Amino acid sequence: MYNPFAEVIDDSTDCELIEQSKNGSQAALEKLILRHQAWIYNIAIRMVFHPHDAEEVTQEILIIAITRLGTFSGKSKFRTWLYRIVANHVLNLKRRMAETQSQSFSAYADAINGTPDLDLPDPKTVPVEVPLLVEEAKISCTTGMLLCLDRKQRLVFVLAEILGASDATGSEILEISPDNFRQSLSRARRELYQFMNQQCGLINTNNPCRCHKKTKGFIEAGHVDAEKMVFSSPHLNKIREVAAETYAQVENEMNQQYAAIFRDHPFLEPKDQVLWLRRMLAQPTIRDTLHLN
Specify the DSSP element, H or E, that contains 198.
helix 178-199
Which residue, 115, 119, 113, is CA-closest to 134? 119
* Of residues 27, 28, 61, the one with CA closest to residue 42: 61
Query: Quick one: pLDDT at residue 65?
Result: 94
Q: What is the pLDDT of residue 101?
A: 65
Question: What is the pLDDT at residue 291?
Answer: 67
Is 199 within 8 Å of 209 (Cβ atoms)?
yes
Q: DSSP 3-state assignment of 266?
A: strand
Query: What is the largest distance, in Å, between two alpha-carbon atoms of the chain?
Result: 62
Q: Are 165 and 136 within 8 A, CB to CB?
A: no
pLDDT at 249 (0 to 100): 47
pTM above 0.85, yes or no: yes
The residue extents of the domains of the chain are 12-290
Count the neighbouring beta carbons within 10 Å of the beta carbon of residue 130: 17
Question: How many other CB atoms sit within 10 Å of the CB of residue 242?
Answer: 17
Instruction: Compute the distance between CA of residue 144 and CA of residue 46 in angstroms, rounded to an integer.
Output: 8
SS3 string of 90-137? HHHCCCCHHHHCCCCHHHHHHHHHCCCCCCCCCHHHCCCCHHHHHHHH
Tens digit of each residue's pLDDT, the chain (293 residues): 788 998 888 888 999 999 999 888 989 999 999 999 999 999 999 999 999 999 999 999 999 999 999 899 888 899 999 999 999 999 999 877 666 665 799 999 999 999 999 999 999 999 999 999 999 999 999 999 999 999 999 999 999 999 999 999 999 999 999 999 999 999 999 999 999 999 999 999 999 999 999 999 999 999 999 999 889 877 788 999 998 766 544 455 567 888 899 999 999 988 877 788 888 778 877 777 766 76
119 and 246 in contact (C-beta within 8 Å)? no
The helix or strand, by DSSP H or E, that contains position 31, with its residue range, turns out to be helix 26-48
